[in-house]
Every structure is written in structure tokens, then in C-alpha cells.
Amino acid sequence: MAKPPSRRSSSQEIDRFLHKSKAIATFVEKQPRLLFAIDATASRQATWDSASQLQQEMFRSAGKVTSLAVQLCYYRGFHDFFASGWLTDSARLAQLMGRVHCEGGHTQITRLLRHAQDEHRKAAVRAVVFIGDAVEENPDTLCNLAGQCGMLQLPLFLFQEGRGADVERTFRNMAKLSGGAYARFDTSSAGTLAALLGAVASYAAGGRTALENNASDSARLLLQQIRS
């Protein structure tokens, strides 16, 4: 038996659909924005796996203040750089992260910072979170870009895995120049990283006031650096 022809959408239904789609896009555009970036080169596989869970702490913390839009970025392999759309659904973000596998390659922090600046010029980004363990680029170039972020009021929150002295020095300088903050963690302190991410999410969603109202040690650590 032949199927009856499908009903064609009326012009009113199409208009309603387009209006709803535009409303959703406008809603996302107006949310406080946080760019969440991770080094996905081979050495980061263990931390990348845990990050899929840790990022949910950002949403839970930020949700106490207001909704938050997050863009996931990562680099890996040979000039492989990914940037998602702006997402307000933590499940969707976790799903994206779960599909990624780390690959060997050099750091692309310069490319990341330029991308963050481009996004900020389109619509204000409250903060950039970066998790990494290596710097293979010119520190002066990175610090110059961090200073530009500072002029744009785009603070960098840099979280270092491991204890590389050169990495720490560069990350600290970048954080200071941008008006952001630096912290270190290792694979045994995932809870610390979760708390730090939650504190940054509070800052991105509600600004300095939200961070001041956050009683955690992580919030105090970040706030102390932002004020200095």
C-alpha cells in the first residue's frame, strides 16, 4: 500500500521554526562565554580522559550564578586544531570530548590565542581556560599575545600539568600579562583541577563578584592573582 504524501509545512509553521531557531541562537550568543582549551597531544591522554568529567564542574558552579556558553578547543597531531560551536549543554560538550583521541604533535598555543582573540572580537569572551603540560613555541611570542589578550580584557587561566620549570615560567607570565591566573596540578589531584575549573566558571559567569562570593581555596588563589 502506497504511503500518503507527507504534509507540506505551511508558511506559518516555517516562520515559527525560523523564529525559534533565531531565538535559540540569540539566547546562546547572549550567554557569558568561556573558551575551554586543551592540549590534546600524546602526553595528555590521561588528563584528557578525566577532563570530560571535570568540565561538568564548570557548568555546575556557573549554574549557581547564570547560564554559561562554552566553546571546546583542542590541538593535536600535525596542525590539527578544532573549535566547537558555543554550547550550553554540558552533556553535548562531554560527548564531543569523549570522541577525541590524543595524537603526537607540537604545541599550538599561538594559534589558540589568536583564535580566542578572533572569537572575542565577534562577541565578548569572559575568560580562556587552557590545560597543558608543554610549551614548544617562542615564549616572547606567547607573552606578547597574552598581553594583547589583557588589553582586550580577555584573561587567561592557565593550568599546568607537571612541574616543568620553563613551562611554569611562561604560563605565569602569560597569566599575569592577560590579567588572569596560573595554577599547577598533576594526575593525582584531579579534585584540585575540578575546583579550579569551577572557580573559573564562577568568574566567567558572574565576574569578580561571583569569585569573591566563592569561599573555596581555589577561588581565593585565583582572586589573589587577578588582583595583583
| Tens digit of each residue's pLDDT (9 = 90 or more) over 35-82 | 999 999 998 887 777 766 666 666 665 555 557 899 999 999 999 999
Q: Is residue 82 part of a domain?
A: yes
Q: Is residue 15 part of a domain?
A: no
pTM: 0.81
CATH of residue 41's domain is 3.40.50.410
Q: Is residue 22 part of a domain?
A: no
Q: Give how far Cα 58 sits from Cα of 150, 210, 225, Å.
A: 23, 13, 20
Q: Is residue 19 part of a domain?
A: no
Range of the domain at 194: 32-227
Q: Is residue 167 part of a domain?
A: yes
Question: How big is the chain, counted in residues?
Answer: 228
pLDDT in tens, 89-134: 877 877 787 788 899 999 999 999 999 999 999 999 999 999 999 9
What's the domain count of the chain? 1
Q: Is residue 25 part of a domain?
A: no
Q: Is residue 128 part of a domain?
A: yes
Q: Is residue 23 part of a domain?
A: no
The contacts of residue 167 (CB under 8 Å, 6+ apart) are: 132, 133, 134, 135, 160
